[in-house]
Structure 1
Amino acid sequence: MIIKILGTGCKKCNLLEENVKKAVTGTNADVQVEKVTDLGEITGYGVMSTPALVIDDRVVSQGKVLKPKDIEGFIQKLG
């Protein structure tokens, strides 16, 4: 599973990245976490509001900071 955090490095983007790392630690899933800051790549996902969360090339959230528990749910559901 590949999880991407899309954002330009703002406070909310960094917080989402921290929450993703916490969520990954709470699961036994084989997960690779990447941070995407390139605006061209971000808009390529159709995202207009950051931070956004992409799991295996599927946008699951945009414009908000998810809590680790919510991210764990996505990992279990999509994993």
Structure 2
Amino acid sequence: MQIKVLGAGCANCRTTVDLIATVAAEAGKPVEVVKVEDMRQIVGYGVMATPAVVVGEKVVHKGSVPSRAQVLGWLQQGE
């Protein structure tokens, strides 16, 4: 499963990447976290507030660090 984190490298973006990786490891879910920092790509998703999270090429979260429960929900959807 691939999850993209969109953002220019701010602290919240890095926290989101770490959170997704941690929750996936704890849940035993294989995941590839891809960090997208290119503003053209980010805007291409229609995102104006970062960090944003893309699962299955669909924006599922934007503008803040997601909760652990949200991340776990995304991981379970990918089963």
Fold similarity call, TM over 0.5: yes
- Give matches, 1:60-79, under 5 Å: 60-79=60-79
Root mean square deviation, CA, Å = 1.2
Q: How many residues of Structure 1 are paired with residues of Structure 2 in the alignment?
A: 79
Structure 1: which 4+ aligned runs deviate by more than 2 Å? Answer: 26-30
Tell me the TM-score normalised to structure 1 length.
0.89
- What secondary structure sits across from 1:9 in the alignment? coil
- What secondary structure sits across from 1:26 in the alignment? helix
Distance, in Å, in 2 between the alignment partners of 1:52 and 1:70 is: 13
Give the fraction of aligned pairs with identical amino acids, expressed as a percent: 37
> Partner of 2:54 in structure 1?
54
- What secondary structure sits across from 1:65 in the alignment? coil
> Cα deviations across residues 6-48 of structure 1 (Å, max 9, x unaligned)?
0000011111111111111122333211000000000111111
Distance, in Å, in 2 between the alignment partners of 1:23 and 1:29 is: 8
